[in-house]
Structure 1
Amino acid sequence: MKRTLLILVVGFSAIVLSQGIAKAQVTVEQKPTPPEVKLPTPEKPGPDYQLIPGHWIWHRPSKMYVWVSARWVEKKENRQWNPGHWQKQARGWKWIPGKWEKIKRKRYFFK
Structure 2
Amino acid sequence: MRTSYSSGVTFLLASCSLLLLLQYAAAGPACPHRNEIVPEDLSQCKYGVVLGWCGNKACGKGPGDTCGGRWEQHGICGEGMYCVCGHCAGCSSKLKCALGRFC
Q: Same fold (TM over 0.5)?
A: no
Query: Could you say which structure has the greater relative contact order, defined with CA pairs below 8 angstroms and 6 or more residues apart?
Result: 1
Greater per-residue helix proportion: 2
Structure showing the higher strand proportion among its residues:
1
TM-score normalized by the length of structure 1: 0.36
Q: TM-score w.r.t. structure 2 length? A: 0.38
